[in-house]
Amino acid sequence: LFASQAVTAIRLARAHETTRLGSIRDPLTGVANHGHFQETLYRELSRHERRREPLALLLVDLDDFKRVNDRHGHPVGDAVLKGVVARLLASVREMDTVARYGGEEFAVILPETDALNGWRVAERLRAAVAASPVDAGLAGPLDVTISAGLAVYPVDAVSKAALVACADKALYAAKRTGKNRVVRYERAPASPD
């Protein structure tokens, strides 16, 4: 009787943990999902505000990903996403958070990281992806590149929404200026008026 109850308790605990992880993880890539990213960023910004420490946020987007899906199909696209995530995870610290922001866009929260070190991490991520083609089950591996936008709390923004918006503007600048690059958010100069 005791053994039967113990087995039931273990099964329930495993089911609970599976459900919990399923609610915070992206099912395809295994990294944090968008909702968990938002919660983590809010929590980290609150902690960094209390400690008066910088925090870097990267928004990362796969370059020309639509072309991969259109040419090779969605299963290959899924394999590419998984391969890129593996490279991102291998290039960050355990304390950093990699999350799927949406589609082929990812967010990377870098606690206790200033602009210079955030830039270094972003460049390391970009170089790691560019230097290692992804085996997606085709005749040969696919060359993949990423673009990244970098924004830093509290230098660029002090709220979660504003920090994400700054990183997003920097990401779009990276895409607009040639892709396969990192762009640091810059405020527009004040007008003379």
Q: Within 13 Å, how many C-alpha atoms sit on residue 100's CB side?
A: 19
Q: Choose, from 44, 104, 112, 186, the residue flagged as catalytic.
A: 104
Nearest alpha-carbon partner for 172 in 183, 186, 164, 188: 183
Give the span between the Cα atoms of 41 and 148, in whole angstroms: 18
104 classed as catalytic: yes
CA angle (39 as vertex; 105, 88 as ends), nearest 5: 35
Pair of tokens at residue 32 = 């944090």
Task: Give Cβ neighbours of residue 169 (< 8 Å, ≥ 6 apart).
Answer: 149, 185
Active site residues per annotation = 104
